[in-house]
Chain A
Amino acid sequence: MTTVDSSVPGRGGALPRLGLAWVTWRQHRFAFYVLLGMLAGFAVLMVDGGLQARSTYDRLGLARCTSFAGGRCFQLRDELFSWYPAQLPFLFLLLLPAAFGAVIGGPLIGRELETGTYRFTWTQGAGRTRWLLTKLFLIASVLAAVAEAYGALYTWYNAPLDHVMRFGFGDYLGFELGGIVFPVQTLLAFTAGVFAGLLTRRTMVAVGAVFLGSFGLIAALVFKLRRYYMTPLVTAGRIGPRDWVVGRAYVDPTGHLLDTGQSHILFTKYLAQLPSSSDGPSVSYRDWLQARHYTIVTSYHPAGRFWTFQFIEAGWMGLLILLLGIATVWLVRRRIG
């Protein structure tokens, strides 16, 4: 064998320090700048709005209120609530995990396969496993940090309102942004994007499919599925602040729970007995039911379940992230080429 020039630097040595990190940075720095720019824009909005909210809160003197059940404090609370812009624009936050995850995850392997550059990168001394793991961990860390920053900013902005309104913990955006599920959702979309890019070998297909899929999943969780993580408690009495109401039902005088059809018939009866003209004495549904010895029962998740729910969601998503990650590494090592 002809000996290789032994004066060549790094013969048989280690990989350059931070070499893979630099490669990751160089290939994803544009995405990083965009991510940071968006976060900065959002931060400006949230800090500005949050400061104004605090001064409004102080001006109204809401700090002196202990209860918002009625009277002056109830009015002040409504005033603060109407000061806050409509909650609706913030629903775009529900899109972020899917968008960030798909746009950054999809091309990670997908573009390498699509353009053929994997044939360069995966035949270098570092090897493809190391390359992949470095990229996954670095980018996942940045994504998680950015997602958590969004959550922290929103939570801080919303704190004055949250203090006086005490929404159920599963209502509005408090659950999304006030715990750990926001970064976990982002990481799930990211890992799914990487995996889809690997399978389809088409960047845009992977990005589109994973964006729609992740957003669909998150929307389904928020509006439909999350409440089934645990069996709700049922009470005939009042529920506490931040308890999350997931359903109401009626119990007839003999103690039987009415199903939807029966409840509907009951309500029809109530409507039928109402005076036809508007001048007659009207009775509220609740009073009408009470007079007939029906009771209203509320299904709810007590406020203390906030973190339990957070951990349940982070748990199954974390497991899925792990499985997708393992499958990705395995496929990259074994099946490509």
Chain B
Amino acid sequence: MSAGVAIETAGLGKRYGRTWALRDCSLAIPGGHVVGLVGPNGAGKTTLLSLAVGLATPTTGQVRVAGGMPAGSAAALDAVAFVAQEAALYRNLSVADMVRVGRSLNRRWDTGRVQARLAELGIPLKKKVGALSGGQRSQVALTLALAKRPELLILDEPLAALDPVARHDFMAALMAAVSEDGVSVVFSSHVVAELERVCDYVVVVHDGRIQVSGEVEELVAGHHVLTGPAEQADVVAQRFPVVRDRRAFAQAHLLVRAADPSAAPPGWQRQSVGLEELVLAYMREPSASVLPGPKSAPGEQVAC
């Protein structure tokens, strides 16, 4: 997957009535990653994912998925699996019938894998989908998605409705699938705390625009908190793009984007940041979107 692109958008925009849910978004998420798409509620995450799976059609621009197929095309529907919010399954069907619905609607279907997974999870086949617990329902939805043997798996808020144990189990199942077939994963979440453990790539959306997009390692390496005397803070802020500026009495704590902040004046201390802190800082500071996103790997463009 490393050669392909998981999701690639160019000038993508989606308008509902008069409101732009997503606007002028150009993005290239490389394949082979577990991508966390984060942002506050209503930021445009679901819209972006709906466009990527072909449920919505763009108002402007285009989306390509799984190595360049137009989103929603027949080939893309075969190659991309989608787990919708709240596991949108037919609640009045039994698990067995729900599985058969999945099999009936797909060219590629791995029956053995479905049976093995459901048996392993101890989900009774005769039970109605609506009678399962939230965690079990999500697991069934994931099972159906993986049965397609997708190249790209897209999940919309898979954790939102789950309790902590179910969250853990779900992410464990997802990670197992990633290591098993190397499927690319893009999932949205407004729970930032989950990200660090599972994602190696992060996209931050805010107010219909992409704020940050990049590999976790590079992002973390490219940001630092600089601590020093407040009177010099403005000088530092001119040298580096500041994501978060906190001043308390004589001290200033600046979260700056810089791979090598050695150009800071003497007397300034440098600390590395965690992913959660970094993402939260961007989410709290929407104006940071005015700055171009972090420098991305060659061949990727981020211009949302």
Residues of chain A having any CB pair with chain B under 8 Å: 1-2, 4-5, 8-16, 19-20, 22-23, 26-27, 115-127, 131, 334-337
CA distance A334 to B149 in the complex (A): 27
Provide the residues of chain B in CB contact with A13, threshold 8 Å.
107-108
Provide the residues of chain A in CB contact with B86, threshold 8 Å.
116
Is A26 a contact partner of B85 (Cβ separation < 8 A)? no
Q: A1-B67, A335-B57 are in contact. Are A23 and B101 (CB under 8 A)?
A: yes
Q: A8-B149, A9-B108, A23-B105 are in contact. List 19 more A-B contacts (CB 8 A).
A: A1-B1, A1-B67, A2-B32, A4-B181, A10-B106, A15-B107, A26-B97, A115-B88, A115-B91, A116-B86, A116-B88, A117-B88, A119-B88, A121-B101, A121-B105, A124-B102, A125-B77, A334-B57, A337-B55
Is A9 a contact partner of B88 (Cβ separation < 8 A)? no
CA distance A301 to B20 in the complex (A): 59
Shortest 8 CB-CB distances between A and B: which pairs? A337-B56, A19-B104, A119-B84, A124-B105, A2-B182, A125-B106, A337-B55, A123-B82
CA distance A23 to B51 in the complex (A): 26
Provide the residues of chain A in CB contact with B53, threshold 8 Å.
123
- Is B89 at the interface (CB under 8 A from chain A)? yes
Is B90 a contact partner of A125 (Cβ separation < 8 A)? no
Q: What distance in Å separates the Cβ of A277 from its nearest Cβ neighbour in chain B?
A: 75
Provide the residues of chain B in CB contact with A118, threshold 8 Å.
55, 88
What's the dominant secondary structure at chain A's contact region? loop
Q: Which of A5, A115, A125 gathers most chain B CB within 10 Å?
A: A125
Q: What distance in Å separates the Cβ of A240 from its nearest Cβ neighbour in chain B?
A: 56
**Can you identify 12 A-B contacts, CB atoms within 8 angstroms?**
A1-B4, A15-B107, A26-B97, A26-B100, A116-B86, A117-B89, A119-B85, A119-B88, A125-B148, A131-B105, A337-B55, A337-B56
CA distance A125 to B106 in the complex (A): 5
Is B90 a contact partner of A4 (Cβ separation < 8 A)? no
Q: Mark B68-90, 1 if CB is under 8 A from A, else 0.
A: 00000010011011101110111
Provide the residues of chain A in CB contact with B2, threshold 8 Å.
1
Provide the residues of chain B in CB contact with A125, threshold 8 Å.
74, 77-78, 105-108, 148
Query: Please, how many residues of chain B have a CB less than 8 angstroms from a CB on the other chain?
Result: 49
Is B32 a contact partner of A9 (Cβ separation < 8 A)? no
Q: What distance in Å separates the Cβ of B29 from its nearest Cβ neighbour in chain A?
A: 15
CA distance A219 to B101 in the complex (A): 40
Partner of B77, one of A8, A27, A124: A124
- Is B103 at the interface (CB under 8 A from chain A)? yes
Q: Which of A2, A15, A117, A131 gathers most chain B CB within 10 Å?
A: A2
Provide the residues of chain B in CB contact with A27, threshold 8 Å.
90
Is B84 a contact partner of A336 (Cβ separation < 8 A)? no
CA distance A5 to B182 in the complex (A): 11
Q: What distance in Å separates the Cβ of B276 from its nearest Cβ neighbour in chain A?
A: 29
Is A120 a contact partner of B89 (Cβ separation < 8 A)? yes
Is A1 a contact partner of B107 (Cβ separation < 8 A)? no
- Is B110 at the interface (CB under 8 A from chain A)? yes
Provide the residues of chain B in CB contact with A1, threshold 8 Å.
1-4, 31, 67, 151
CA distance A184 to B29 in the complex (A): 51
Q: What distance in Å separates the Cβ of A238 from its nearest Cβ neighbour in chain B?
A: 62
- Is B213 at the interface (CB under 8 A from chain A)? no
User: Which residues of B from 237 to 257 have beta carbons under 8 Å from A?
Assistant: none
Q: A1-B67, A125-B77 are in contact. Are A10 and B107 (CB under 8 A)?
A: yes
- Is B138 at the interface (CB under 8 A from chain A)? no
Is A123 a contact partner of B80 (Cβ separation < 8 A)? yes
For residue A20, which residue of chain B has the nearest CB?
B104
For residue B74, which residue of chain A has the nearest CB?
A127
Is A12 a contact partner of B80 (Cβ separation < 8 A)? no
CA distance A125 to B57 in the complex (A): 17
CA distance A15 to B77 in the complex (A): 12
Is A126 a contact partner of B105 (Cβ separation < 8 A)? yes
Partner of B149, one of A4, A14, A23, A117: A4
Provide the residues of chain B in CB contact with A12, threshold 8 Å.
78, 107-108
Partner of A9, one of B77, B102, B109: B109
CA distance A127 to B70 in the complex (A): 14
- Is B221 at the interface (CB under 8 A from chain A)? no
- Is B54 at the interface (CB under 8 A from chain A)? yes
Q: What distance in Å separates the Cβ of B51 from its nearest Cβ neighbour in chain A?
A: 8
Is B55 a contact partner of A14 (Cβ separation < 8 A)? no
Q: What distance in Å separates the Cβ of B32 from its nearest Cβ neighbour in chain A?
A: 7
Q: What distance in Å separates the Cβ of B78 from its nearest Cβ neighbour in chain A?
A: 5
For residue A26, which residue of chain B has the nearest CB?
B97
Is A5 a contact partner of B56 (Cβ separation < 8 A)? no
- Is B139 at the interface (CB under 8 A from chain A)? no
CA distance A20 to B17 in the complex (A): 34
- Is B93 at the interface (CB under 8 A from chain A)? yes
Is B149 a contact partner of A5 (Cβ separation < 8 A)? yes
Is B82 a contact partner of A126 (Cβ separation < 8 A)? no
Is B181 a contact partner of A5 (Cβ separation < 8 A)? yes
CA distance A5 to B86 in the complex (A): 29
Is A26 a contact partner of B31 (Cβ separation < 8 A)? no
Q: What distance in Å separates the Cβ of A230 from its nearest Cβ neighbour in chain B?
A: 46
Q: A1-B1, A125-B105, A127-B74 are in contact. Are A117 and B90 (CB under 8 A)?
A: yes
- Is B41 at the interface (CB under 8 A from chain A)? no
Is B1 a contact partner of A9 (Cβ separation < 8 A)? no
CA distance A192 to B124 in the complex (A): 39
- Is B50 at the interface (CB under 8 A from chain A)? yes
Is B108 a contact partner of A11 (Cβ separation < 8 A)? yes
Is B103 a contact partner of A16 (Cβ separation < 8 A)? yes
CA distance A27 to B77 in the complex (A): 22
Provide the residues of chain B in CB contact with A9, threshold 8 Å.
108-111
CA distance A122 to B103 in the complex (A): 14
Q: Which of B31, B88, B100, B107 gathers most chain A CB within 10 Å?
A: B107
Q: What distance in Å separates the Cβ of B96 from its nearest Cβ neighbour in chain A?
A: 11
CA distance A89 to B135 in the complex (A): 53
CA distance A54 to B230 in the complex (A): 106
